[in-house]
Structure 1
């Protein structure tokens, strides 16, 4: 190498982002919304690898062998309730069983391999179901709980605006990361965790008691999932910046072990 040849940049962590199914004009698409990708690139400083879920799990281990992190996004579809032992109470809502089956297997394999995991909204529910938990399919109909859904008539800026406060578990690493016990969040979900999966514990609750954030305290790797949407205008939200920065740092530690 000559004195004028620049040295290679350090390899950025590679993070798997699984896509979901969406039908458009008679064609099936695999999709990922920009708002989930941008904070992973701009704040976490990681490289996304978009993974199709429409072809089964045959290549899952190969994808995972490349990964320094797993990032499970939200989506417009619900998890198939048969996967957590319930009848479907929301037949009007879209499902994506191919994503369900891929992501549940991916969560379990990532846990076995010690790969960091971040989940958002549907992603949090996938982690819970993968570990044997279940879900309130219509949390807005459950006694004592609020309606956490957005108004479909509102523009996105209102839908993703601050909706309510969440209380962080006192003394938790997450409360330390946020630097406070209460933070404002948006709210765009009709479903919520009912019973926590094996090894999972809450990190935050809404004012009505709905679980808003979870982790797996017995696992060595970074695990965090939240029910709200920190990806929305993430760079403008100090709490979101802290979440994506912490995930990026965990992925860099994982990459350094290669």
Structure 2
């Protein structure tokens, strides 16, 4: 049975709707709002949810109305970095793109989603947003931090090589993530130049890389599903049992929220 059939067989007549905030991209002098295909498909095919792609270029005034329509929030990775002024630092990577519209949408979105008890799943930049929204900060140049490995991909490699397993992560022993994944150590890909420095309020680690870099977080004091991961489980998710487990767990949390409306 395909993952799509698995997801569909476990859904009710109304599939849960999940907000995905889009990001800015410039193409030939025109401003675009974009969302990458690889993030959308596992949400649909494995989690069994319907994506609501939300522009971030129009400001944050309508966040509550957007959230009225959804059963979960899914914050994806992106090629841009979070504006360091939002976590009290000067910009140490001016050569890297930023997306302040997304920052100013997603940070209040996180607070609003948590107030409503909405399930929240965050990948890479999204995990960093979750931490920053709650008062944490970021290593802007993780690769220059003593004792830390270089977690960036080689831009000259083919995409399949960039997203291949790069290092192990170690889940907190006995944690719900270790139980979900079926083991306390798994191999993951690694495509990030930045990483969590100081954890935000109520944020706790769920997994670390061998060099101590935080690879997964959650909010244990929140009743709803919350998970942020630094790697990219969306990449070829259907062929990765741990990725399937993560997306199915998020989809189930969204179905439970929908059923309680």
- Length-normalised TM-score, structure 1: 0.96
Equivalenced residue count is 250
SS state at 2:257 partner: helix
| Residue of structure 2 in register with 1:3 after alignment | none
Shift of residue 26 of structure 1? Answer: 0.2
| Residue of structure 2 in register with 1:229 after alignment | 232
RMSD: 0.5
**Is 2:53 the counterpart of 1:50?**
yes
* Distance in 1 of aligned mates of 2:150 and 2:65: 41
* Distance in 2 of aligned mates of 1:181 and 1:256: 32
* Distance in 2 of aligned mates of 1:143 and 1:247: 35
Shift of residue 58 of structure 1? Answer: 1.2
Shift of residue 182 of structure 1? Answer: 0.2
**Is 2:23 the counterpart of 1:10?**
no
* Distance in 2 of aligned mates of 1:230 and 1:179: 15
SS state at 2:193 partner: coil
**Is 2:182 the counterpart of 1:172?**
no
Shift of residue 103 of structure 1? Answer: 0.3
SS state at 1:147 partner: coil
Question: Following TM superposition, where does structure 1 have runs of at least 4 consecutive aligned residues deviating by more than 3 angstroms?
Answer: none
| Residue of structure 1 in register with 2:3 after alignment | none
| Residue of structure 1 in register with 2:24 after alignment | 21
Could you say which structure has the larger radius of gyration? 1
5+ residue gaps, structure 2: 1-11
Shift of residue 118 of structure 1? Answer: 0.2
Residue-by-residue CA offset, 1:99-132 (whole Å, 9 max, x unaligned)? 0010000000000110000000000000000000
| Residue of structure 2 in register with 1:68 after alignment | 71
**Is 2:74 the counterpart of 1:82?**
no
| Residue of structure 1 in register with 2:9 after alignment | none
| Residue of structure 2 in register with 1:102 after alignment | 105
* Distance in 2 of aligned mates of 1:143 and 1:249: 40
Shift of residue 247 of structure 1? Answer: 0.1
- Length-normalised TM-score, structure 2: 0.95
5+ residue gaps, structure 1: 1-8
* Distance in 2 of aligned mates of 1:171 and 1:157: 32
| Residue of structure 2 in register with 1:212 after alignment | 215
Shift of residue 67 of structure 1? Answer: 1.1
